[in-house]
Every structure is written in structure tokens, then in C-alpha cells.
Amino acid sequence: MAGALPSQAGRLSAPVATASRPAAAPAPTAKAAPALRIDPTFWWVGMKNPRLQLLVHSPGIAGSTATLAAYPGVTLEGVQKLESPNYLLLNLSISASAAPGQLKLEFKGKKKLSYSYELRARNTPGDPSKVQGVNTSDFIYLLMPDRFANGDPTNDVIKGMKAPGVARDSMYSRHGGDLKGIENHFDYLKQLGVTAIWPTPVVENDQPKASYHGYALTDFYQVDRRYGTNEEYVRFVQRAHQQGLKVVHDVVLNHIGSENYLFKDQPAKDWFHQWPTFTRSNFRDAAFNDPYKSSADFNQFNNGWFDTHMPDLNQSNPLVATYLIQNFLWWVEYTGLDAYRVDTYTYSEPRFLMQWGEAITSEYPKLGQFAETWVQGTAQQAFFAKNILPPVDGFKSNMPGVLDFQLQYAINEALTKDAGWTEGINKMYYTLQADWMYEDPMRNVTFLDNHDMSRFYSVIGEDFAKYKMGIAWLLTTRGIPQLYYGTEVLMKNYSNPDGKVREDFPGGWPGDKKNLFTTRTGQEAEAFDYVSKLAQYRKSHPVLHAGKLMQFIPDAGVYTYFRYSDAGTVMVVMNSGKDEKTVDTKRFAERLQGFSSGLEVTSGAVLSDLSSLKIPGRTAWVVELKK
């Protein structure tokens, strides 16, 4: 995140909206705080780890004696008091023989409280539709639920929640999009060729400012009710699976929102990184593994807060670590989701990252996992994925894949700078050359832009020829491609201010002047059709996701690479210059041998002579080779 982080920090601290409009429908009411709360809210029998840590919260609960009524296979191994009088920790052991049912807990103190804690039968084992993972055959669509489509206006405003209302003319207010709005457009996503949906976090963000983005959670166990209920999220995942769509759940390990009950009534001071005065992270990820780093720099990077309203969790506290691990096991088992995208991965405590990854993978080996690693340099990025590099200070990443910021930098440079020895289109070659450091670079997620960056179409100067080059690269290079919502219909803008790249999808709200879900004309239609045609081709031709990759050093601004397998070969030729180039293909002989012609799959043009290619300026050809 080093080079771009000031803008990312800004995305999460925004001015309060100046205008709001209440929804016309009666507003639902926020839930009242329970007299006694226990996290996790329920659990399952048959989990691999028999131990369960229950965090009990209630005024003065530490003065109570906690007991568990006899229950076959379940033992209360200990009760632990914390610094706050309002918490107790119960440590349970749940044997493999335990059956689903209700645990009877009693707390005897000034008041007597009883609680029935539910143990459920597991949802995921034996059900192939759940926890499918993501892989190179997928095409991920990143969207912001609040900005995509409003399918249920009755949940736009929840009485008692801190955001004042809905104001679509304010970039930092809630706009009313929700889970139902996404579900209403499953057919649109399938037409585009999407196979997996990645919404930014759907958990509760009951913050008074800029709560729409989701990265300042206020309840680990609650879907934000302006998106829907927990039960509706479970159904959302189920219905996505029924439509052949996977669900990526966006999670934050590093920090929470300042309105989270765990921060407002802290179990203990050492649950958070405390500073004499507010101290923001320096956002210098190099301090994580710099062999010459100062302790002060690493401490500020790792333990500084991401923003004023985002308290930094102290994951070196084993109680905090267990709380977080249990929560992210809980969401998988509860919903059957398919993958985790991990926000601000590099900012978490190193040993905790290893512990978290081991626990999640042990329970759900098929779960997809990829992390945000907004860093500088290919070696630094590889360091945070599974790699062949030696450990540093005991840290060895077990994160299967990462968001490939280095290739995102490279494609943008390729389309905005002239070719040089290492610059322009050549940066793509050298970035991919560094794949030797990854255990499996195919698990990396490639992208053109996202919710924190200037939109791709604006970055390339709204040049439609360059746009098609970027899409062609995205859907033919190695890894798992991800598209940011609206890129397929040429949505544009810059990230300063960041809200401009998070505008509503046209047609997601009744009365929108344009509905690009259903009616597209001109270049918007051409862009959608181009993405769709190439994505559908990719889906039906495994060579583009399972085939090997061979690249050739760019020459005169032309970059050529091949995806190949026993099932076929696809050649991609990218001319980054403005003028037509004649490409002598003799040096591609090891991949062209046995092929006599080719079909450019996006246009249908036939290439009858492969010995020499004349490729127009600012053009990418995706050529299926024919024998």
C-alpha cells in the first residue's frame, strides 16, 4: 500500500453527509442490546478443533459464578475474568461424541441469568454446493452492495442506526443498495460471464460517517441490516450457488469500527493497540521484513491505527486471536460461502496471520483465500503469499494467493507509457518473470482497478482501443481475473475523492435515467459485449484458465504470449504502440509448430498466414490456433 496509501486511508475517513432523505416505507428498528450476549452466537458439533471460547458480555457479569448443566460430550474447562467487570470467558471442550442441542448456562451473582446456548449440526460436510473455493476457472465480479442496486427499499433506513438516512446525491452517505439488489441481477452477471461475486463487507457497519464501504465493522456476527438479515444472507449464498455463482466474503482482520461494542466497552486494554495520542500507521509495509528496520517503524506500521475510527486489534493477545479465528470459521459454516478476500492483510500481527491461515485451512481446505497486498515490488508481494522464500523473523506466509497489484501496475503502465527497456509494455514481462517466487502464481487474483483506485477507463484516457487491450489481457493472462462493477459499461472517474469511483450502477434504482442492466447503446454496449464474449469464451475453453503460460520478451512495443495445453493453444498479441506493426513469428516457433492458421476470437477474423502478422496499433488479438 505504500505508494497509494494516503488515498486509501482517505477512503475510510470521509466527511459526514450534509443531506439525507428518509425512506418512504416504514423504517425497521435496530435491535436493542441484549441483557447478555455471547460470541460466537452459536456453534456446531463435529468441528476439528474441540475447544470453544465463549465471550460473555453483560453488565457486572464478572461478579457471577458460571456453571454448565450436565451435557454429554461437553465440558466447561474453565472460566476466566478479564479486566472489564462486564465480561467473562468460558472455555468449553466439545468431544466428537457430542450431539446437537441446547447447553444450559447459568450465571449466579447479584442477578441470576440463564442462557440456552445452541450447538448445531454442521452444514458444510458432504454438501458439494458449499465452500466450493475459487480457482483459475472463475471470473470474479467486485461490487459495493450499497452502490450496485436497491432491491428492498424497506431496509434503506433502520431506525436507531447511526447513519442519518439515504442520500444518493452524497458520495459518503448510504444509497440504499442491498443483497436483494444483487440477487435481482444474477442473470446480468451470468450473461457477462461472471462465476463469482465479491461484495465489499456485508457485516454491520453502524458508524455515523461513511459506513457504506463496510470496512469498519461494528458487529462480527451481524449482517448490516440495511443490506438484509443474517438469514437473508444465508439464502443469498444458497441462491447464488443455485445459479452457478460463487460468493467471496470480504473480511477485515486488522481493525474494527469505533462503534463496535468490543471497543466501546473494552474487555481489556490489551485487546487493542493503545497509544498516548492517536497514531496512524505509517503504511510502510517494507518495515514488515526490512532486515535493517527500526523497531519504531515496524511498531507504527503494524500497531498504528488505520484511521481515527478504526481501532487496531492486538492479535498477539491469544484471546483476541481465538475470537477472530472462531468468527471466520463461523461465517463459513453458517453460510457455506466459497472464499475469503482478506482486507489490509499485511497490517496484521505476523504470527497471528500464520495461526489464522492454518486454522481456516485445516477446517476448510477447499475454501478460497486471497489477500489484499497493496505493496511495492514483486518480491514484497510474493513474500505475503505462499512462496519459495525463506522465513523472516519466523514468518512464512500460508496465504494461498494475493490480489496482484504488481500486474495491475504493469498493465496500466503498458497502456499509458511508451515501451522502454523495462518500461511500458515491458513491465508486464518483467512482472510475470518474477512468478518464480510464488508457490503457485495461478492462485493470484488479477485486476484492472478496484474500489480504492481510479477507474481503469479514466486512467487510460477513455481510449476504447486501450480498454479492449486491458480486458483481453485480464481474461487471458495467468491467475484468477476480477472485474470491478461498471467496468464492463465504461464507468469512469478518479479516486480523489474516492467516492467518485463508487458511484451507483445506472439502473440499480427505480427511476434512474439510464438502465445499463437492460439497455446499452454505443460503446457501452460494445464494451459489455466484448467482456461477455471473451469471458464466455474463457469459461468454455479451459486452456485459458488451466493451460500453461509462455511469454516472449516484448519487441518494438509488441508483447506476445501463449496459453497452451493438450486441448489447444491460444496466442495473445498486444501492440501497445499507436502504429501498425509487422510481427515476424519465427521466434515463436516452439509454440506455433503444427499450427497453420488462427481465429481471432473476439472479432471472428481468420488469420490464414501465421508466418507474419500485421497488427494494428493499440490492439490485442486473442487467437485460437488451428492445425
Residues contacting residue 276 through CB under 8 Å, at least 6 positions apart: none
CA distance 292 to 129: 48
- Spatial CB neighbours of 436, under 8 Å, sequence gap ≥ 6: 388
Q: Is the dihedral of CA 491, 492, 498, 499 positive or negative?
A: negative
Q: Which helix (H) or strand (E) holds 250?
A: strand 246-252
Continuous segment of H or E residues that includes residue 170: none
CA atoms within 13 A on the CB side of 272: 25
Q: What are the catalytic residues?
A: 343, 372
Three-state SS sequence of 340-379: EEEECHHHCCHHHHHHHHHHHHHHCCCCEEEECCCCCCHH
- Cβ proximity of 93 and 51 under 8 Å: yes
3-state secondary structure of 272: strand
Q: CA-CA-CA-CA torsion for 590, 591, 593, 594, nearest 10 degrees?
A: 150
3-state secondary structure of 466: helix
Nearest Cα residue to 101 out of 139, 51, 144, 44? 44
Cα–Cα separations (whole angstroms), residue 584 to 56, 574, 616? 71, 14, 14
Q: What share of the chain is helix, strand, coil (3-state, %, to 5)?
A: 30, 25, 45
Burial 322-350 (b: 16+ CB within 10 A, else e): bbbbbbbbbbbbbbbbbbbbbbbbbbbbb
Cα 459 to chain centroid distance, Å, stands at 22
Location of C-alpha cell 472517474: 493
Q: Label residue 96 exposed, middle or buried (CB < 10 Å: 0-12, 13-18, 19+).
A: exposed
Q: Answer yes or no: are the C-beta atoms of 446 and 138 closer than 8 Å.
A: no
By three-state DSSP, how is residue 219 classified?
strand
Q: Which residue has the cell 485451512?
A: 361
Asked whether 407 and 433 are in contact (CB, 8 A), the reply is: no
Cβ atoms within 10 Å of 109's Cβ, excluding its own: 14
> CA-to-CA distance for 167 and 174, rounded, in angstroms?
6
Q: Residue 325: name the closest of 38, 39, 37 by CA.
A: 39
Query: Cell numbers at residue 258, please?
Result: 469505533
Three-state SS letters, 291-347: CCCCHHHHHHHHHCECECCECEECCCCHHHHHHHHHHHHHHHHHHCCCEEEEECHHH
Strand order in the sheet with 401-402: 401-402, 368-371, 339-343, 246-252, 196-199, 140-143, 480-484, 445-447
